[in-house]
Amino acid sequence: MTKSTLLDKEFNELNSINLSDKQQISIWQNIHQKNKRGNKLLFLKNSAILIAALSIILLLSTTLIAGKIGKKQPNGTPENPITISTTNVNMSAVTAIRLADFNTGWAGGNGWIAKTASEGKHWNVVYQGNGTVEQITALNRSDVWATLNQGGNKWSLLHSNDGGQHWSSIGSMPNNSFLHFISKTTALSGNAFSKNGGKSWHSLPVPKDIVGEAYFHDVKNGWVVTQSNKVLNVKRTTNGGGKWNTVMSKKLIEPLAGAMIRSAGTNDSWIELIGGTGMSQTSYSVFHTLDGGKSWRTVIANSTAGGGPAPGFSLEYDKGPTNKGAKPGPLYVVSPQVAFMGGSCQACDNHQNSIGWTNDGGKTWVNSKVMLDGYGDAYLAISDANHGWWITTENTKPSMMYTTSDGGVNWTKVHIFR
């Protein structure tokens, strides 16, 4: 029975008996006081319920913001959710960058990862934690991974399946080689591979006398550079390292100091060879094959007075093609036809960074007229033949971000990291 019904009943009972006016007034005062107490108790009860509900909503919102709600992998296995700090972070020193497309991508540094969805104009921190971000790789706008240097030759692996809004710890990396995922579950890093999203790793066999790191395009197709007796060899496997065949050999005047390999297809390979260094100059070469190593094209042959001849060439060779800069910068392969490469001049007073590219698989090499300041490492993230990001760094100055929409001819400064 409702409160209004009870009051009506009391009113009817009151009218049914013969009472004096004074007695009726006294009884009505008692009824009124009872009604006031009831309303007050009802108000307090409803207020308590409302406060409790708001507290629950606030608690859930705080938990979501902090990143404490773990997400599941596509196979249903829970990842280890990471609590995200909301304190201010110094983003002035960028150490890694990756884009999903020209509009969307991520950058990282010491203890942070940030995301942009505005072509680099605006950035929001989406992760804070221990370690310096050394690599970021992504399959698309949603699935992104990052490796963090934890010191002592240890690297941790993080994963996000919502574009970086929430992160989970996957485990540790087997090495610090170039990491790339070819699906949500299959990853490769040097001669190591994972079939469960980076939770566990296994090794693929490689030949001896390797220079630099092995590169596997997938679990079957891989490339390495070896050197012995003043001869460099590029070797290829098509059965996961079970057998390696030499597909290119060249004599060396000076021993190789390093090598880097990238690939944009099963039969595609870009080989960067690092030669000697002297007087702040480093010699290097870049070769490219489209047919699995049957034929090779010289993309870059940079000989220097301090570093000697470009690897694989004689002292007299001067036909190039050449890239600007006294030493190699970052190499970014977009496709079997498109690749960009930076150059660096640490001895220059200004404009230490240069860039060049090919759009025809290495037949021609074009050097941009644009030169940028920055004594630190440079980073490239290229979306296609026309669109890309270029970040320059310096120890005493904040990192700068530039973008191009005309294939590298012009670059526009869009962001200063603070």
| Same-domain check for residues 126 and 44 | no
Specify whether 300 is located in the same domain as 349.
Answer: yes
Model confidence at 82, pLDDT cuts 50, 70, 90, reads: confident
Decide if 166 contacts 142 (C-beta within 8 A).
no
Give the chain's mean pLDDT. Answer: 87
DSSP state of 304: B
Q: What is the CATH number of the domain that holds 143?
A: 2.130.10.10
Say how far apart CA 159 and CA 175 lie, in whole Å: 17
Structural contact between residues 222 and 241, judged by C-beta atoms closer than 8 angstroms? yes
**Do 179 and 273 lie in a common domain?**
yes
**Mean pLDDT along residues 219-248:** 98
Answer yes or no: do 58 and 157 share one domain.
Answer: no
> In this predicted structure, what is the pLDDT of residue 15?
44
pLDDT at site 80: 77
Same domain for 40 and 114, yes or no, is no
Q: What is the mean pLDDT of residues 338-343?
A: 98
Its domain, for residue 44, covers 3-65
Structural domain contains residue 84: no
Residue 108 within a domain: yes
What's the confidence (pLDDT) of residue 83? 60
When divided into structural domains, the chain yields a total of: 2
Q: What is the DSSP letter of 78?
A: B
Q: Is 153 exposed, middle or buried (0-12, 13-18, 19+ CB in 10 A)?
A: exposed
**What confidence tier does 86 reach under pLDDT thresholds 50, 70, 90?**
low
Higher pLDDT, 240 or 83: 240
Q: Where does a domain end: 15, 45, 65?
A: 65
Give the tens place of pLDDT for each residue, 137-161.
Answer: 999 999 999 999 999 999 999 999 9
Binned at pLDDT 50, 70 and 90, residue 417 comes out as very high
Same domain, 22 and 139: no
Residues 160 and 300 in one domain: yes
Task: Examine the pLDDT at 56 and tell me if it is beyond 90.
Answer: no
* Residue 293, C-beta contacts closer than 8 angstroms, at least 6 positions apart: 234, 236, 245, 247, 248, 269
pLDDT for residue 321 is more than 70: yes
Residue/partner pairs of 182-187 with CB below 8 Å, 24 or more apart:
182/218, 183/139, 184/73, 184/74, 184/139, 184/143, 185/74, 185/75, 186/218, 186/219, 187/145
